Amino acid sequence: MKKRTTDSTTSAGIAAAATETVQRHGSAIKEHLVALDGIDHETGQALHRSLRDIAGYKVNPDYVEGNLKEQAGFSAEIKDAARGNARRIIAGDDTRTVRTDDIGRVNDQQYDHVELDGHGNIIAGSGTQMKFVGGDPKEAFDKLMSPGYAKYRDNNIPFKVPSDYYDGIKTEANEKIASLQRQVETLDAQGKHELAHQKLDQIKEIEKVRDNLKQSELSRQEAMEARVSPVMSTAKDVARVAWHGGVEGAKYGAEIGGGISAILNIVAVVKGEKEVGEAVKDTAVGTAKSAAVGFAVGGAGSALKGVMQNSSSNVVRNLSKTAVPAMAVTAAMDTLKTLNRLRKGEIDGVQCLEELGQSATAKMSAAAFASYGAVLGSAIPGPGNLIGAVVGGIVGHALASHYYQEALDLLKDAKMAREERIRIEAECAAAKQMYQKYRAEFESAFTRYMSECRQAFDLALRDMRDALEMGDADWFIAGANRVSRQMGREPQFETRAEFDALMESSEAFVL
């Protein structure tokens, strides 16, 4: 039982650490779900059309191929924006791509897409025209250079082309430019300078298209799949993002679970409970298992977060912003383990229900403590929020597991006297009050400490700045020493003269 509790607490720590990963990848997955259904419940926006809408468009039996290609182009516009935004969200980039149709500019004559900054403003010069045309790169290039597309070229509008055509179109452009350059040399040699000048104008036109060419987020085949099988296409994108989240989660799992496993095994060796070889093996196994847990949390947690974030329920959407999606995955894993033990006969029905209740209680407590710890940790420079979330998740899980088990042990005695119950309830109430008191004292002490540090650092840095301007070395040293004393260190010298003496002495200089 102790090992299961330790494993479960480790899982809670891994889930807490992976929460930020789950949040980013879950938000990325939400972009694909919005593209599929056309409704962003988080913002209340309804897209001009969705992948499901386009999949339902009618097709003329006499022009099936042409109709599908045209409609696949519409699907590509939606899919391209969703993939690009998902990629930006994962990278922490707050810019977004939107279709002009979705910002009130339906059938815009110049742009299919524009980019928005973090405040929702259109970024100047970001507009693009998507063109999924031609049966191969050569046909696509010829189409882009045709008179019908002159209005885009004249306005220097970038063309966004299928990912599998991009390199081929550039090759076609370069070959055409090389051919025209040879013609220019020949015409100049023949004295036909006017014709040569016309060829130079064609070269400039091609160079403009080539240099403005942009690669779409998807290929022609993927665009067609989005048209005929939007659910399958979306599922693939969701799986791709979830896999990426799982890989990041596995890293956290290996680091946290491996660290905990190493500590436990070192202690076991010191106590004589294990040999060194056995401890090394168990540490490796523990690290691998924790990496697997991290992968499951990062992947499945991201998928769950994405679904919750675009839920029509405001409560569910709010929960998606906490550690609940990550913790829910570990709770599900614990549930499967418990049910498997029941199936094997290792526990009975009552024990099964006890373990299920303990797992659910502990994981929800861990989620709450992880969120609280992340908020407190955000005040600490560096990865403070991550450290706070991990510590909070582990502490919350351990406390909930302990008190849940204590409560179960007490309630198992059906003949417990009423007076004993009253005493226990009073102790629980007192413990709760004490916990709230300690929590308030911790918050107060933490806030006071950070305030004192900030004041000390501000004063020290101001003195050091003024000292540099005045050229006063002793004043500068006094400011630096103020920082040292605030951090609990006693400086080795107070003045420049003492520093010179220290350098000339045999005493060690300690940074």
Residues 199-244: tens digit of each pLDDT? 999 999 999 999 999 999 999 999 999 999 999 999 999 999 999 9
**What average pLDDT does this structure show over 282-310?**
83
CB-CB neighbours of 391 under 10 Å: 19
pLDDT at 386 exceeding the cut of 60: no
Return phi, psi of residue 273, to 5°: -85, -20
Closest Cα partner for 241 from 116, 84, 395?
84
Per the prediction, the chain carries an average pLDDT of: 78
Alpha carbon 158 to chain centroid, angstroms: 30
pLDDT at 71: 95
Residue 214's H or E segment, with its range, is strand 214-215
What do you get for the CA distance between the two ends of the chain, in Å?
Answer: 48
**What average pLDDT does this structure show over 396-406?**
45
pLDDT at 391: 41
pLDDT at 241: 93
The per-residue b/e assignment along 155-187, b for 16 or more CB within 10 angstroms, e otherwise, is eebbbbbbbbbbebbbebbeebbeebeebbeeb
Closest Cα partner for 294 from 257, 268, 262?
257
Model confidence band, residue 373 (pLDDT cutoffs 50, 70, 90): very low
**Beta strands at 159-161 and 129-130: parallel, antiparallel or unpaired:** parallel
- Interaxial angle between packed helices 324-344 and 276-309, expressed in degrees from 0 to 180 and rounded to the nearest 10: 120
Beta strands in 156-204 (DSSP E): 159-161
How would you class 454 by CB atoms within 10 Å of its CB: exposed for 0-12, middle for 13-18, buried for 19 or more? exposed
C-beta of residue 172 within 8 angstroms of C-beta of residue 137? yes
Please report, as a single letter, which amino acid is at residue 21. T
Model confidence band, residue 378 (pLDDT cutoffs 50, 70, 90): very low
Beta bridge partners of 46: 39
**What average pLDDT does this structure show over 272-286?**
84
Please write the tens of the pLDDT for every residue from 87-105. Answer: 999 999 999 999 999 999 9
Q: What is the C-alpha separation between 307 and 28, in angstroms, rounded?
A: 11
**What average pLDDT does this structure show over 114-121?**
94
pTM as predicted: 0.68
Please give the structure tokens belonging to residue 179.
């051919």
Q: Which residues contact 339 (CB under 8 A, 6 or more apart)?
A: 352
pLDDT at 297: 78
pLDDT at 372 exceeding the cut of 80: no
Which stretches within 38-63 are classed as H helix?
51-55
pLDDT at 260: 73
pLDDT at 356 exceeding the cut of 90: no
pLDDT at 6 exceeding the cut of 90: no
Q: What is the C-alpha separation between 444 and 439, in angstroms, rounded?
A: 9
**What average pLDDT does this structure show over 349-376?**
47
pLDDT at 376 exceeding the cut of 60: no
The residue with tokens 């791509």 is: 97
pLDDT at 382 exceeding the cut of 50: no
